[in-house]
Amino acid sequence: MKVWHFSEMAYHPAWPELQDSYRVVIPNRLYDPKIGADLYHRYLDEWALCDELGINIMTNEHHATATCADSVCTIPMAILARETKHVRLLALGMPIGNRNDPIRVAEEYSMLDVISRGRIEMGFVKGVPFEISPANTNPADLIERFWEAHDLILKAMTTHDGPFNWEGTHFHYRQVNVWPRPWQEPHPPVWMPVGSPGSAMEAAEHGMTIGVLNTGWVRTPPIFEAYRKRAAEAARPMTPQRLAYMALIGVGNTREEGWRRADQILDYSRTSGIVAPQFMNPPGYASVAQSAQALRTSGAGFRAGRIQSRDGRSIDPRRMTVAGAIDAGLSFAGTPDDVFDQLHAFYDHVGGFGHLLMMGQGGLLSHEETVANLTLFSKAVLPRLEGLGE
Amino acid sequence: MARIDIGEVSLEVTITGEGPSLLFLHGGDYFAQNRVFLDRLAGCWRVIAPRHPGFGGSVRPDGFRSVHDLAYLYLDLLEQQSLGDAVLVGSSFGGWVALEMCVRSVERIGRLALIDTLGVKFAGREQRDIADIYALPADEVLRRTFFAPERVAPDYAELDDAEAASIASDRAATALYGWRPYMHDPGLRRWLRRVRVPTLVIWGQSDGIVSPDYGERLCRSLPDARFELIREAGHYPQIERPDPVADAIERFAHAEVKS
């Protein structure tokens, strides 16, 4: 099993100032660049450490938010492409339906792939609903735009006798000619985060690796099962490496220490969903049936019930405890044995997967604690994962 | 509910009343609430009220996605139904479509009534002419939309599946047509001089989506328009006060016929 360390590079010093929304409408006077610089450097140091620990690196991006100060996922990757030598680099990823220039995305990923000598894995993200406003992209045809950008980026990265012409519905270029070409042939592996069986099936048809985030014990199995079934129908090669699961991981020399770390990382879950309701379901983003349901329940229906306990109760992430998160399958925490046992039980429950996306830092977990968390994981858990999900 | 096919578009159309033709183009939301107003107009006209493609049960073909498409569609509808000298009434988003029709052709349009219409950009790039309904809390959008929201706002919890789905479709389609540039066509203002048809600009005095000032500015930008304010009404005066709005349109149409 491959393990990837993920942090949202949170700008947590602003959190005490925030109440109803942590996103979209919060003014950046709450951001102090001097504190922000220190935070960027420590998060980058933690990723750089992963190169020594044998843990791969994952970045993501969000916009206009204090929960994730990584607004361009390829920028930390650009730094790490040179600063690291061994581990693989996953950007999960680029919101290609919200970016207006897919060729620029192809150029960024290709440059990163060459500089890192072929260590890039490229994520294409549809984007959560509250990313629509910062980009001011049309929510009603986001999916159409996502797939056109996907097709164009892959064609641009795999065409070596260009230029070629692209006059599509959303994107228009007459001389597509991406330099440099990527290091990996035919192109870096493609990932997509998914949150539903329907999206998993689409990813399976395209042979993408899926990253499943915050779906837990109840929602993960049908997503993985839909992927496996559709991959078989579409005659796509199916291996556990097509499936990735994200968990918040706190490991310590004692259970108490591991739980304390997990508790701080859980501030990610407690804050990241706090968004003013008008940005939660832009019209046309969700299906007509989902939006109709949200209309009848004053918006409460949409995205509610995303976090569920093992026995199917809806959990309010703002009040989630470590015990609750472990029960929900969102967190693996405790001693190395605890973490391994919880992970293994989850692995068996969902039918296996090849990648563990480890949120090893989140919220206020300090640099020293993060280093201790990652280091202990790499020494006492990682070796036991060999052979799992291969 | 009738259905009219125009090219590849299958339109859901309400047709009611007898008399000269009146084409009503609805706004982005509250379609069902126009019923009293349309019934009132049906006393004088044969009212044709299509549901825009993508809204309700009207089918939107692939690639049909701009207000310009809608304008050509309804010009085709006038032609296909052999309507001449029609009264064209547009509310909010529907008023924008009506303007886009008129800058293209007024051949079959006798009079134009615009109700709290959007679609034109007047202010500078850092001023908003049209409230950002997608960034305001739902209760504030409601307050800005109606003079007396409590009298009009539907109880959404009481809707059945089909009704709720219909409203969800309306909202998605409004976003599709109007998200960016936001609820306007940057080129439209230049061509407003081509709206060479007697025009009545009707505005709800308490409209918090597009202000009466915007309405007066729109009125001044049209070659032959006059302005009428409706008291105790917001963005959809024909819903809140159907009688004075219908009266105004009747007077306007009648006066123009006489002249």
Judged by CB atoms closer than 8 Å, whether chains meet at A284 and B175 is answered as yes
State residue A297's pLDDT score. Answer: 83
Closest residue by Cα to residue A51 from A79, A88, A78, A76: A88
CA distance A38 to A43: 9
Collect all residues of chain B within an 8 Å Cβ-Cβ radius of residue A24: 135
Cα angle A215, A220, A224 (rounded to 5 degrees) comes to: 135
In this prediction, the answer to ipTM > 0.90 reads: yes
Mean pLDDT estimate for chain B: 96
Is residue B234 helix, strand or coil? coil
Q: In the numeric block, which tokens belong to residue B46?
A: 């044969």
Q: How far is CA B170 from the centre of its chain?
A: 13
Q: In the numeric block, which tokens belong to residue A109?
A: 């990923």
CA distance A47 to A79: 10
Collect all residues of chain B within an 8 Å Cβ-Cβ radius of residue A133: 134-135
State residue B258's pLDDT score. Answer: 41
Instruction: Provide the domain limits for residue B20.
Output: 2-258
Chain B residues with a Cβ under 8 Å from any Cβ in chain A: 63, 65, 134-138, 156-157, 159, 161, 164-165, 167-169, 171-176, 179-180
Give the residue-averaged pLDDT of B16-44.
97
Option in B134, B135, B164 nearest A295 (CB): B164
Collect all residues of chain A within an 8 Å Cβ-Cβ radius of residue B161: 292
CB pairs under 8 A between A and B: 74
Eight-class DSSP state of B183: T
For chain A, the domains span 2-94+189-278+286-385
Per residue in A81-104, pLDDT (tens digit) is 999 999 999 999 999 999 999 999
Per residue in B159-195, pLDDT (tens digit) is 999 999 999 999 999 999 999 999 999 999 999 999 9
Helices and strands (H, E) in chain A, number of each type: 13, 11
State residue A294's pLDDT score. Answer: 87
Q: Is the peptide bond before B137 cis (omega within 30 degrees of 0)?
A: no
Is residue A350 helix, strand or coil? helix
Eight-class DSSP state of A241: G
Per residue in A275-326, pLDDT (tens digit) is 998 999 999 999 999 899 888 887 654 555 678 999 999 999 889 999 999 9
Option in B157, B165, B180 nearest A289 (CB): B165
Mean pLDDT estimate for chain A: 95
Q: Which fold has domain A2-94+189-278+286-385?
A: TIM Barrel (3.20.20)
pLDDT surpasses 50 at B259: no
Q: The CATH number of the domain where B43 resides is what?
A: 3.40.50.1820
Q: Which residue in chain B has the smallest CA separation from A286?
A: B172
Collect all residues of chain A within an 8 Å Cβ-Cβ radius of residue B134: 133, 278, 282-283
Per residue in B99-122, pLDDT (tens digit) is 999 999 999 999 999 999 999 999
CA distance A103 to A88: 23
Q: In the numeric block, which tokens belong to residue B217?
A: 């500015």
Q: Which residue in chain A has the smallest CA separation from B139?
A: A278
Is residue A76 helix, strand or coil? helix
- The count of structural domains within chain B is 1
- Share above pLDDT 70 across residues of chain A, in percent, rounded to a whole number: 98
Cα angle B15, B16, B22 (rounded to 5 degrees) comes to: 75
Per residue in A100-149, pLDDT (tens digit) is 999 999 999 999 999 999 999 999 999 999 999 999 999 999 999 999 99
State residue B1's pLDDT score. Answer: 82
Q: Work out the pLDDT band at B5, boundaries 50, 70, 90.
A: very high
